[in-house]
């Protein structure tokens, strides 16, 4: 009987580490189980863990490792002949996000497009995964100064995430950054102000949330508010994040 890796337990433990902002322990945990998956030939587990590792290394700014795990995941998709299923689309999306994060938007777009084709054919229009795809793909288009395509995707993301206010807030801040890139800080001042205020409203609507995802969103958004001069709100978001991670 073939041995397999207990992926549910792996992901559950990973979530525990991430909820405490303990990235070092999360990475050690994933590397251990990747080795186990490879040793027993559990390709599906190895694919899942490579996806988690590329995302974690991207967050940590570890370019070479993130790109390496992305390549491994893409190679596994080919090896397992699953190029057209949801798992493959998620790998394309995650790998594209890694490429975009490290200044390789041109390489990211074809992978985003592969993911988009599979997701749109197989997921409900309200599926959160579509929102994540549209958001990240739009960021790559902004890098390439393809602003109309980016704006269309941001609007699709907001539509998909009607019940996900923290994620909508990220999208509005992304739209503010896109407006700045297109028109300059002065030229886009009013547009940026409206978008930032909308993001603030959305984050305040769910300020009593205590889950790790909300903490991550607060952490991600805080520096953007600071960049646009909302220093008190930046500090407020950092405090919300601290309270969640410390359980206070």
Per-residue pLDDT of the chain (248 residues; tens, 9 = 90+): 457 899 999 999 999 999 888 999 999 999 999 999 999 999 999 999 999 999 999 999 999 999 999 999 999 999 999 989 998 999 999 999 999 999 999 999 999 999 999 999 999 988 989 999 999 999 999 999 999 999 999 999 999 988 889 999 999 999 999 999 999 999 999 999 999 999 999 999 988 888 888 998 999 899 999 999 999 999 999 999 888 888 75
What is the per-residue pLDDT for 248?
57
Is 40 part of any domain?
no
Measured between alpha carbons, how far is 13 from 56 in angstroms, rounded to an integer? 14
What is the per-residue pLDDT for 102?
96
Using CA atoms, how far residue 95 sits from 22, 56, 118, 219, in Å, is 23, 12, 15, 23
Stated pTM of the model: 0.84
Is 221 part of any domain?
yes
What is the per-residue pLDDT for 1?
44
What is the CA 152 to chain-centroid distance, rounded?
Answer: 19
Total domain count, the chain: 1
What is the per-residue pLDDT for 12?
95
Measured between alpha carbons, how far is 140 from 11 in angstroms, rounded to an integer? 28
Domain range enclosing 185: 164-248
Is 91 part of any domain?
no
- Output the six-digit token pair for 86: 């949801």
Q: CB 235: neighbour CB atoms within 10 A?
A: 13
Is 131 part of any domain?
no
Is 17 part of any domain?
no
Is 233 part of any domain?
yes
- Output the six-digit token pair for 62: 């570890």
Is 76 part of any domain?
no
Is 187 part of any domain?
yes
| CA neighbor of 217 nearest in space, from 227, 206, 226 | 206
């Amino acid at each position: 009987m073939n041995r397999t890796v207990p992926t549910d337990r792996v992901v559950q433990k990973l979530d525990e580490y991430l909820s405490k902002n303990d990235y070092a322990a999360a990475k050690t945990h994933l590397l251990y189980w990747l080795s186990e998956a490879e040793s027993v030939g559990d390709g599906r587990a190895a694919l899942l863990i490579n996806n988690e590792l590329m995302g974690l290394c991207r967050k940590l700014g570890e370019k070479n490792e993130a790109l390496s795990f992305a390549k491994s995941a893409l190679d596994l998709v080919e090896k397992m002949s699953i190029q057209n299923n949801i798992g493959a689309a998620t790998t394309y999306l995650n790998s594209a996000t890694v490429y975009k994060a490290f200044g390789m938007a041109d390489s990211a777009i074809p992978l985003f497009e592969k993911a988009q084709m599979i997701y749109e054919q197989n997921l409900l229009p309200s599926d959160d995964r579509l929102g994540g795809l549209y958001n990240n793909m739009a960021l790559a288009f902004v890098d390439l100064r393809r602003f109309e395509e980016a704006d269309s995707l941001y609007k699709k993301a907001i539509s998909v995430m009607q019940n996900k206010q923290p994620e909508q807030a990220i999208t509005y801040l992304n739209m503010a950054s896109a407006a700045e890139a297109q028109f300059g800080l002065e030229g886009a001042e009013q547009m940026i102000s409206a978008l930032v205020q909308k993001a603030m409203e959305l984050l305040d609507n769910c300020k009593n949330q205590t889950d790790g995802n909300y903490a991550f969103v607060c952490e991600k958004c805080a520096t953007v508010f600071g960049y646009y001069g909302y220093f008190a709100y930046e500090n407020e978001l950092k405090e919300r994040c601290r309270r969640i991670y410390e359980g206070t």
